[in-house]
């Protein structure tokens, strides 16, 4: 009998699949399609990690399952290859990022192929390929033509010590991660995309997709739509006015001060001389703080301007303060302070002795503190202290008051309804080398021209030194002969745009290019797009839950509006794989110990070598903590099929999973057992009812698991099945064939081999089994149970059980058990499928 040698089996089938182009997809309108996509990786130097394997195995299982169900499956893979790490590596080593990227991609591809993923490799591309970014640049020109791309002066992170602009990822708590030097904000000319124009649609169309509710909520909150009002406050001794944005206009009678963001343009002109120095000092300090520092500071600080506004309804004087907790770029950068109804304002008012006027009565369920005004009541309630002349709100519910205030503000020209979004326009340029150059020419007269399709791709100039410039300009600006040109189309002197696009750009539309990756005449063919789109299943990390998905959806909607794509949303069903975490171990001196050198006793962990007790923690896998696991090593030792099976068996796809490698041997054993079983002399061509029942039940329940992406439970069922099946007297071949098909999406190599051993060909092209309903419903029989001639209970059982089994079940029936207590059974009468009768004494 052959024993299972994973490495020869896996190599063999990987080669055959490649030769037969087993997973090549082509547009075929006669067949139903299924597009299953992974969030493509950034090809980092550290290669594939076990988290990637969870993601890609899950989609591969579905790809193979759908193919066997007769779908035309599109399952592509590519590389998100522009970005900071490749550039930083280039700066450190002097290797061109294109070289590093190519090496990393080659290594990744080998790793993925070794895992047997059924990608259509013909569709592979990298976002840094000129033949791809030609179209990224072209899409940018479409955004530009639609007025959705504009230039603005925006502050960037600038590190004077390093003499460079830093990306947000390079900054931590106001300091450069590299060296810890302080980082300041510096205004620079930037490209910005008007994503805000799509804010409403980006919220509303979430109704069209099957995504986890938590991800929908993240997107909605990020966009942050607030329905409120703008209220105009006139100023004492000043012609200007201050406009505030509020979502609680019902509380207007409780407004006892106004606050301006330190950046507010009116501050200079309204601040009284006596306060000028203090205000200036305060502003300087605030400008050096990050938004997070400003909003999350425990103690709210501020400074009085010395000036007053007039309450729009009562005309009372309201002091104007400046405070950093008000952000310049939300609403109007000015807020009305209502201490009794807003905790933040309450603390501020307490610190600076500002009056507190209650306007919404805390209801019964409010806490004592809230009722006694030792804390703000932020919830709903009945209005008090809120009537003035003909505007009577007292006694009304605050929601009704909102409407009345709004009407009053509008008819008195003191305000209006207003919708605000947290979402800002998307800062789309970087002062970097390793990104798509912008296809834009600037002319001397200040006008611009977007390059036409025949001028694309626009390649960056060749650079030996990729470092960002000390001025904050992009390194491209150093290549004067590239920057300064005579525009061949107009004959005018022109300068090329020297900023580059951010890494997000390439991942905004790669799923469209996968539909038609070799098209050199257009980004994609519309008919082909119409066939494959939308992506039916998209799987990736939750870290992309906000930005990548939002940006890609935004581009997609723009493309929809200009008639280039046929669906409103790009990704129909989205699932996020949970993070893989790991238990790390260290000594009291913070020396990490590899998990393989640790033994557990009574829930405590000890160093096997020294016997010393260790501290342990569940955290992200990390090489430096000796918890990194390399898929390559695992594939070598156990085989790709065992690794795939194991990673799916760890737990539900979307849940966080703790990496403990022990179960991988169990998965491997399971595969070996099938391998042996197929070769057993008990394999027969003759079907048995018992085998039929077992396999049909397995087909039925595994199919349900597949639809629900519950791969871990499907695997548990395979194992259970094997235990039951191995006990049968014979192994009907038909059941084994079905089993092999069911396991195939999980462990594709060994199952192809078994399929061949069972005399079949090309499992990858086989049809997924469908359960025969006749074998699903076990017919049940009802036994009456008598004790000394009286019926004392009934039991339901499978038909045709033997007397001993039925009698045991009967004795255990709770009512019967009661009657039998303390009795001796003298005789048992058994009528198959009908009656068990005990004679007792
Ligand atoms: C008065 C008030 C009374 C407020 C009250 C709240 C409670 P969302 O829901 O996030 O939109 N606000 C407005 N602009 C701001 C800015 N630039 N920086 C900081 N805070 C700002 O929140 C809207 C509320 O946030 C607004 O309603 C305003 O405070 C504050 F009992 O106005 B409110």
* CATH classification of the domain holding 300: 3.90.740.10
Cβ of 797 below 6 Å from ligand 1: no
Q: Where are the beta strands (DSSP E) in 566-612?
A: 571-577, 580-586, 592-593, 598-601, 604-607
Determine the pLDDT at residue 778.
66
> Which numbered atom of ligand 1 lies nearest the CA of 326?
18
Largest distance between two CA atoms of the chain? 116
Structure tokens at 751: 């199952």
Domain assignment of residue 741, yes or no: no
463 and 610, same domain (yes or no): no
Whose alpha carbon is nearest atom 26 of ligand 1?
A: 246
**827, containing H or E segment:** strand 825-831
Q: What is the distance in A from the centroid of ligand 1 to the CA of 506?
A: 36
Handedness of CA 91, 96, 101, 104 (dihedral sign): negative
- Best mutation site among 225, 229, 233, 248 for ligand 1, i.e. most ligand atoms within 8 A of its Cβ? 248
Whose alpha carbon is nearest atom 28 of ligand 1?
A: 246
573 and 590, same domain (yes or no): no
Whose alpha carbon is nearest atom 25 of ligand 1?
A: 246
CA 661 – CA 663 distance, rounded (Å):
6
> Residue 565: which CATH number?
3.40.50.620
Cβ of 336 below 6 Å from ligand 1: yes
Contacts (Cβ under 8 Å, ≥6 apart) of 479: 461, 462, 463
For the chain, the helix, strand and coil percentages under 3-state DSSP, each to the nearest 5: 40, 25, 35
Cβ of 330 below 6 Å from ligand 1: yes
Domain assignment of residue 431, yes or no: yes
Q: What is the distance in A from the centroid of ligand 1 to the CA of 326?
A: 9
CA 108 – CA 90 distance, rounded (Å):
19
Domain assignment of residue 264, yes or no: yes
303 and 394, same domain (yes or no): yes
Cβ of 420 below 6 Å from ligand 1: yes
What are φ and ψ of residue 777, in 5° steps?
-80, 110
**795, containing H or E segment:** strand 790-797
397 and 303, same domain (yes or no): yes
pLDDT block averages, 10 residues each, the chain of length 841: 96 98 96 98 90 96 98 98 85 88 96 98 98 98 98 86 74 80 86 97 98 97 96 95 98 98 96 97 86 78 97 97 93 97 96 97 95 96 96 96 96 97 92 94 97 98 84 89 97 96 95 98 98 98 93 98 98 96 92 91 93 93 83 96 97 93 91 97 95 95 97 97 95 98 98 98 97 82 92 86 92 89 93 94 86
- Best mutation site among 220, 246, 376 for ligand 1, i.e. most ligand atoms within 8 A of its Cβ? 246
Structure tokens at 792: 């004392």
Among the candidates 635, 664, 693, a domain finishes at 664
Q: What is the distance in A from the centroid of ligand 1 to the CA of 247?
A: 6
Determine the pLDDT at residue 295.
76
Determine contact, residues 632/112, Cβ cutoff 8 Å: no
Determine the pLDDT at residue 656.
94
Cβ of 248 below 6 Å from ligand 1: yes
Among the candidates 619, 634, 664, a domain finishes at 664
453 and 530, same domain (yes or no): no
Domain assignment of residue 14, yes or no: no
Q: What is the distance in A from the centroid of ligand 1 to the CA of 171?
A: 28
Cβ of 524 below 6 Å from ligand 1: no
Domain assignment of residue 236, yes or no: yes
452 and 480, same domain (yes or no): yes
174 and 304, same domain (yes or no): no
Cβ of 253 below 6 Å from ligand 1: no
356 and 442, same domain (yes or no): no
Find tokens 């041997």 and name the residue: 665
Cβ of 341 below 6 Å from ligand 1: yes
> Residue 592: which CATH number?
2.20.28.290
> Residue 826: which CATH number?
3.10.20.590
> Which numbered atom of ligand 1 lies nearest the CA of 325?
19
Domain assignment of residue 693, yes or no: no
Domain assignment of residue 386, yes or no: yes
Among the candidates 577, 605, 633, a domain finishes at 577
- Best mutation site among 321, 331, 402 for ligand 1, i.e. most ligand atoms within 8 A of its Cβ? 331
CA 639 – CA 106 distance, rounded (Å):
21
Whose alpha carbon is nearest atom 22 of ligand 1?
A: 247
Determine the pLDDT at residue 104.
94
Q: What is the distance in A from the centroid of ligand 1 to the CA of 251?
A: 11
Cβ of 335 below 6 Å from ligand 1: yes
Cβ of 327 below 6 Å from ligand 1: yes
> How many domains are contained in the chain?
5
Domain assignment of residue 772, yes or no: no
Whose alpha carbon is nearest atom 2 of ligand 1?
A: 248
307 and 368, same domain (yes or no): yes
Determine contact, residues 96/90, Cβ cutoff 8 Å: yes
Cβ of 295 below 6 Å from ligand 1: no
Determine the pLDDT at residue 178.
77
278 and 392, same domain (yes or no): yes
Determine contact, residues 435/503, Cβ cutoff 8 Å: yes
> Which numbered atom of ligand 1 lies nearest the CA of 247?
27
107 and 180, same domain (yes or no): no
CA 817 – CA 793 distance, rounded (Å):
10
Domain of residue 315 covers: 226-420
- Best mutation site among 330, 358, 359, 406 for ligand 1, i.e. most ligand atoms within 8 A of its Cβ? 330
Contacts (Cβ under 8 Å, ≥6 apart) of 771: 696, 697, 699, 700, 703
Three-state secondary-structure class, residue 105? helix
528 and 432, same domain (yes or no): no
């Amino acid at each position: 009998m052959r024993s299972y040698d994973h490495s020869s089996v896996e190599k063999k089938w990987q080669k055959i699949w490649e030769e037969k182009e087993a997973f090549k997809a082509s547009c075929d309108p006669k067949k139903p399609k299924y597009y299953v996509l992974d969030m493509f990786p950034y090809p980092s130097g550290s290669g594939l990690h076990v988290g990637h394997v969870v993601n890609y195995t899950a989609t591969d299982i579905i790809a193979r399952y759908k193919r066997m169900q007769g779908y035309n499956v599109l399952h592509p893979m590519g590389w998100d290859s522009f970005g900071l790490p490749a550039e930083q590596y280039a700066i450190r080593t002097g290797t061109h990022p294109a070289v590093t990227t190519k090496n990393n991609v080659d290594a990744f591809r080998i790793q993925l192929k070794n895992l047997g993923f059924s990608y259509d490799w013909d569709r592979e591309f990298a976002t840094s390929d000129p033949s791809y970014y030609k179209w990224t640049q072209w899409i940018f020109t479409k955004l530009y033509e639609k007025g959705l791309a504009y230039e603005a002066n925006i502050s960037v992170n600038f590190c004077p010590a390093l003499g460079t602009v830093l990306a947000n990822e390079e900054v931590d708590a106001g300091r450069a991660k590299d060296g810890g030097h302080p980082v300041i904000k510096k205004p620079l000319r930037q490209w910005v995309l008007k994503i805000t124009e799509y804010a409403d649609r980006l919220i509303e169309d979430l109704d069209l997709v099957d995504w986890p509710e938590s991800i929908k909520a993240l997107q909605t909150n990020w966009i942050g739509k607030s329905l409120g009002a703008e209220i105009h406050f006139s100023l004492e001794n000043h012609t200007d006015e201050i406009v505030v944005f509020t979502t609680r206009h019902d509380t207007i009678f409780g407004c006892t001060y106004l606050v301006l963001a330190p950046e507010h343009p009116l501050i200079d002109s309204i601040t009284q001389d006596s306060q000028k120095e203090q205000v200036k000092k305060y502003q300087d300090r605030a400008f050096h703080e990050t938004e997070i520092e400003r909003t999350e500071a425990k103690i709210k600080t501020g400074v009085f301007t010395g000036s007053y506004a007039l309450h729009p309804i009562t005309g009372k004087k309201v002091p104007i303060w400046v405070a950093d907790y008000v952000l310049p770029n939300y609403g109007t950068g000015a807020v009305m302070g209502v201490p009794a109804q807003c905790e933040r304002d309450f603390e501020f008012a307490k610190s600076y002795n500002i009056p507190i006027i209650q306007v919404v009565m805390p209801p019964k369920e409010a806490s004592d503190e809230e009722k006694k005004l030792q804390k703000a009541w932020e919830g709903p309630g009945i209005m008090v202290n809120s009537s003035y002349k003909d505007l009577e709100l007292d006694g009304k519910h605050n929601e009704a008051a909102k409407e009345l205030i709004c009407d009053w503000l509008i008819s008195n020209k003191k305000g209006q309804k207003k919708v605000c979004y947290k979402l800002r326009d998307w800062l789309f340029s970087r002062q970097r080398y390793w990104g798509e150059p912008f296809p834009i020419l600037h002319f001397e007269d200040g006008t611009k021209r977007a390059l036409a399709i025949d001028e694309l791709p626009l390649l960056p100039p060749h650079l030996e030194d990729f470092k960002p410039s000390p001025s904050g300009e992009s390194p491209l600006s150093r290549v004067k002969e590239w920057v300064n040109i005579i525009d061949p189309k107009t004959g005018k002197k022109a300068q090329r745009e020297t900023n580059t696009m951010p890494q997000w750009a390439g991942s905004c539309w790669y799923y469209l290019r996968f539909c038609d990756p070799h098209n050199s005449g257009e980004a994609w063919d519309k008919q082909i797009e119409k066939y494959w789109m939308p992506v039916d299943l998209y799987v990736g990390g939750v870290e992309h839950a906000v930005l990548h998905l939002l940006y890609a959806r935004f581009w997609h909607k723009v493309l929809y509006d200009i008639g280039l794509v046929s669906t409103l949303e790009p990704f129909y069903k989205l699932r996020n794989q949970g993070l893989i975490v790991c238990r790390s171990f260290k000594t009291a001196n913070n020396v990490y110990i590899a998990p393989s050198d640790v033994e557990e006793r009574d829930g405590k962990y000890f160093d096997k070598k020294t016997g010393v007790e260790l501290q342990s923690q569940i955290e992200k896998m990390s090489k430096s903590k000796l918890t990194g696991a390399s898929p390559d090593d695992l594939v070598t030792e156990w085989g790709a099929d065992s690794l795939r099976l194991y990673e799916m068996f760890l737990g539900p796809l979307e849940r966080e999973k703790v990496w403990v490698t022990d179960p991988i041997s169990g998965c491997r054993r399971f595969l070996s057992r099938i391998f042996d079983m197929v070769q057993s002399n008990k394999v027969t061509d003759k079907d048995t009812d018992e085998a039929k029942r077992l396999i049909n039940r397995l087909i039925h329940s595994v199919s349900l698991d597949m639809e629900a992406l519950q791969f871990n439970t499907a695997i548990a069922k395979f194992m259970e099945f094997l235990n039951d099946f191995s006990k049968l007297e014979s192994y009907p071949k038909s059941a084994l064939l079905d089993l092999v098909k069911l396991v195939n999406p999980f462990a594709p190599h060994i199952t192809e081999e078994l399929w061949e051993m069972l005399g079949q060909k090309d499992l990858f092209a086989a049809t997924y089994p469908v359960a025969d309903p006749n074998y699903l419903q076990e017919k049940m029989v009802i036994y009456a149970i008598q004790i000394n001639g009286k019926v004392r209970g009934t039991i339901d059982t499978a038909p045709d059980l033997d007397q001993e089994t039925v009698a045991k079940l009967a004795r255990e029936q709770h009512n019967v058990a009661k009657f039998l207590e303390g009795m001796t059974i003298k005789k048992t009468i058994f009528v198959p499928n009908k009656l068990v009768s005990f004679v007792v004494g």
